[in-house]
Structure formats: C-alpha cells, structure tokens
Amino acid sequence: MEISEAKAYIERWQAVEKIEQKERQSATLAENWRHLNLIKQRAARLGIVRENDDGEMEVFLLWARLKANYVPS
C-alpha cells in the first residue's frame, strides 16, 4: 500500500466517522431507547450483569464492557 493510498483510506474512515457522529446527534429519544435496550439484551446474553451494588465505579465498568461488546445492527 502506497502512502497516498493509506492517507486516502484514513480520510475515508474519518468521513464515515463524521457522518456517524451526525447520525448519533440527530437520533430521536425512541431510537436511543431502542439502542439502549439492545445493549442491555446483549449484556444479558453475554452474562454481564450488575450486582446489587450501587458503587459508581462498577457502573462505569459495566458500561465500558457493554460498549466494548456492542455491535450496531
């Protein structure tokens, strides 16, 4: 792969990221709710569950695991 090809590749993915960012910002409440439910269902299938602990760090870690395992449909 030539340097110019590599740069073009990176620029294309940056353009895709900008489009995805705009789509995320324009998402409706219903769409966001549906995505959240999909993430929750995926977490349940993966066995990622929140214990009966209100510790803030555990919540952050749970979301990090959910985000790492989320695959948009």
Provide the Cα torsion 21, 23, 27, 33; round to 10°: -70
pLDDT per residue as tens digits for the range 6-48:
999 999 999 999 999 998 888 888 888 998 999 999 998 998 8
Give me the number of domains the chain comprises.
1
Identify the residue with better confidence: 1 or 64: 64
Indicate if the alpha-carbon torsion angle 30, 59, 66, 47 is positive or negative. negative
Q: What is the pTM of this model?
A: 0.41
Domain that holds residue 20: 3-69
Provide the pLDDT for residue 18.
Answer: 94
